[in-house]
Amino acid sequence: MAVYTIEIDETFGVPRKKVFALFADHHRFGKMIGAPVKRIKDSDQADPNGAGSVRRVGLGPLSIEETVLEFEPYTLIEYTITSAGPIKNHIGRIHFSDTNDGKTRLRYIISFEDIVPFSGKLIRSSLELGLRRGIRRVPELA
């Protein structure tokens, strides 16, 4: 199976703490991307959205579950899909850093393999479109 990758590199004139908070909070992240997202398992960390937390993205039988693997406040969120779905070996990595001019840089990289042959291109395009549309809203939501 082919490996598909999405790479988003954006800079915002919003403090890193606020950008991170938007992506870290499962409910607010869902509002940003325009999809229902619900935390179904809290993390054992101080932040209930941290490592080990599980969120359901989508509705009913079309939903997937994602588990947060790494959570470094204001710096990194890494997650994977842990339910059955149309893709496998999924990893999402969101890195937050400051720029030299006081802005926030966001690097969001997702990689996955398709299960159904030739479906990866469609999944990648749809996912990337939704993410980019949502990420454009960061300044107004953060």
pLDDT of residue 60: 81
Query: For residues 58, 60, 65 and 71, what is the CA-based torsion angle, rounded to 10 degrees?
Result: 50
pLDDT of residue 117: 85
pLDDT mean over 135-141? 94
pLDDT, tens only, 74-90:
999 999 999 988 889 99
pLDDT, tens only, 31-51:
999 989 999 999 999 999 999
User: Which band of pLDDT confidence, cut at 50, 70 and 90, is reported for residue 61?
Assistant: confident
pLDDT mean over 16-21? 96
Residue 119 maps to which CATH number?
A: 3.30.530.20
What domain range is 132 assigned to?
3-141
Q: How many angstroms separate the CA atoms of 86 and 105, rounded?
A: 30
User: Which band of pLDDT confidence, cut at 50, 70 and 90, is reported for residue 13?
Assistant: very high
pLDDT of residue 126: 92
C-alpha pair distances (Å), 68 with each of 77, 93, 122: 7, 10, 25
Domain total in the chain: 1
